[in-house]
Each structure stands twice: as C-alpha cells, then as structure tokens.
Amino acid sequence: MESQYLFCVFLCLFIRFSSVFCVDDRDTDTTVQILLKEFQSLRNRVSVLESFVEKQTEIIQVQNDRIVKLEAIVTRGSFNEDDLEKSTYSLRGIEDGAYQSRDKNTKTKHLALDRQDYPTSFIPRRTPHQQKPRRGVRLATVQPVAFYAYMSSDLHNPGGHHTLIFDVTKTNEGNGYHAHLGVFMVPKSGTYFLSWTMGLWISSYHSTELLVNNQAHGAIYLATSGDERACVTGNLVLNLNERDEVFIRTRDNYNVGKIASDAYSRTSFSGFLIE
C-alpha cells in the first residue's frame, strides 16, 4: 500500500511539473504509459513474492513439526522408519508445490518498456548443481546392550538356592551387568538372548536355573563320573522389561561336588539385546 501511494504521488508531481515546464503532452502520455506498465510489473512481482512467502511459511511449519518429532525420537532412543519416510515425503511435496507455484506465477510475458525488457520473474531458479543439498537427518543411534562374565575360580559345594557370582567381566555394553551381585539389570526393554555355561569337576552333579525377578525361566543339569569333568550350556530368548533382574542360581536340590571354572572350562553368564 505504501509503495502504491508513493507511486501515485510521484505520478501526480510528474504530470504537474511537466505542464509547468511546457512539456509536450504526447511525450507526457508516453512517459505515463511507461510508468503505468512499470507499476503493473511491480504489482505482479509483489503478488508473486506474497505467494512464495506463504509457501515458505508452510514449509517452515512442517520442518518445525519434524524437528519436534525427531527430538522425541532422540529422547526415546528409537524410531519408526515408516513415520519418518512419510514425514520426508510430505515435506518434499510441499517444497515441490512451492517451486511449481512460483514458476507458474512467474512465467509471464516480458513487458517491452522503452528500449529494454523487464521480466516479471525476478526470483532466479538455481540449476541442479547450484542447489544446496538437503540436510540429512541424523537418526537416534541405538545403544548396544551385551555382556559376558565368568567365575574367576571354582565353587565348592554351594548348596541350594546359591546365586552364582560371575566376578570377571569381559563385556558390559550398556552397563547392565553388576559383577559384585552376579545380576544383569536390564537397561532397556526388548528381546534378549541369554546363555549360561556350568562346568563340573569329577564325581559331581548340579542343577542351576536362570531367574527373572525371582521367577525361574530355564534350568540345566549335569552329572560327571569319577574319571572326567564336563560342562553344559543353557540358552533362552526372553522379552524383558527395563530394570528386570536376571541371575543364575543353584536349584534347591541335586547339588553335590564342585563347580569348575578355570583356564580349561569357564562357568560363565552372557547375553545381548536382539531388538
């Protein structure tokens, strides 16, 4: 509005002074026609700009919404690939629509003004090699969870309901295993693979079980003869919740002799997050 007002004032002053200085009316009419064409060209450009700014505002709003979603993804430490792809396609559609709208509105005929042309499209379209690449979205990195520990020495006649302490920790990604307690405290909900191995000296028999929050989920039994030692392994796949406590203990009976753990066979406990 302000630019239109200033233009009208300028036009009136021009006509006024042209009459005062006795400028030819034909020249005045020609000049006025040129100025009117320039004014129309300016109005067209302002209209294009307003349309383009409106589309850019819509793009910014969609980008803000995606930022909020991505911040939530980073906070949770997980992401939904389908939702992310939908969000990306939605944003690209709006961006393409903005460019198409801008191109459609700016593809008008050039106005011949005096001895030069004034195109209505003044917003340059970048060539493919000039366009800035879209910034990639860094997805939340899933923290790995895995542990492996073993007993540093043999255990003589532990008796029933004795928690095995695997005091040598070799792997503890996610810091879920606590060697001083022999307990794996689940740092993140998900599906886990769990395994434990029990070795026995000669003339021994023992039964051990894996418990989650004091509930048994698996057990193994082994008996050795008087002239050889042996070992046995139990494996489980369980859905665990954050802060669940997983540990190994002897059962209430069938426990006689020595559990072996040395350089030849380790009594161990391990596990990792599948998904």
- 93 lies in some domain: yes
Q: How many CB atoms lie within 10 A of CB 3?
A: 11
Asked if residues 51 and 102 have their Cβ atoms less than 8 Å apart, the reply is: yes
Residue 65 lies in a domain: yes
Residue 170 and residue 252 in one domain:
yes
For residue 124, tell me if it sits in a domain.
no
The separation between CA 192 and the C-alpha centre of its own chain, rounded to angstroms, equals: 22
Say yes or no: 211 and 248 in one domain.
yes
Q: List the CATH number of the domain containing 236.
A: 2.60.120.40
Q: What's the whole-number mean pLDDT along residues 34-60?
A: 81
Claim to verify: residue 14 and residue 97 sit in the same structural domain = yes
Q: Residue written as tokens 């009316």?
A: 25
User: Across-strand partners of 273?
Assistant: 192
Judging by DSSP bridges, how do beta strands 215-223 and 168-173 pair with one another? unpaired
Q: Are 90 and 186 in a shared domain?
A: no
Q: List, for residues 140-178, the tens digit of each pLDDT value.
A: 456 899 999 999 999 999 989 999 999 999 999 999 999
125 within a domain of the structure (yes/no):
no
Question: Looking at the structure, do residues 78 and 155 belong to the same domain, yes or no?
Answer: no
In a shared domain, residues 103 and 187: no
Query: What pLDDT is attached to residue 227?
Result: 83
Alpha-carbon separation of residue 137 from 39, 61, 87, 95, 165 (angstroms): 45, 17, 12, 17, 44
What lies within 8 Å, CB to CB, of 46 at 6+ separation is 3
Residues 102 and 156 in one domain: no
Return the SS3 of 2.
helix
Which residue among 77, 97, 118 closes a domain?
A: 118
Number of domains in the chain: 2
Are 160 and 261 contained in the same domain? yes
149 vs 49 pLDDT, higher one: 149
3-class state of residue 214 by DSSP? coil
Residue by residue, DSSP assigns 13-58 as HHHHHHHHTT--HHHHHHHHHHHHHHHHHHHHHHHHHHHHHHHHHH
pLDDT at 180 over 90: yes
Q: How confident is the model at residue 6 (pLDDT cuts 50, 70, 90)?
A: low
Q: What is the mean pLDDT of the chain?
A: 77
- Domain final residue pick, 63, 97, 118: 118
pLDDT at 137: 47
pLDDT at residue 8 greater than cutoff 60: yes
Residue 37 lies in a domain: yes
Do residues 153 and 262 share a domain?
A: yes
> Of 100, 118, 136, which marks where a domain is finished?
118
> What would the mean pLDDT of 38-48 be, rounded to a whole number?
80
**Is the domain of 153 the same as that of 113?**
no
Kindly state whether residues 112 and 184 are assigned to the same domain.
Answer: no
Is 174 a member of any domain? yes
The answer to whether residue 126 is domain-embedded is no
Is position 184 within any domain? yes
Q: What are 232's strand-pairing partners?
A: 198
Residue 240's domain comprises 147-273
Residue 166 · residue 151 · CB < 8 Å:
yes
Same domain, 104 and 174: no
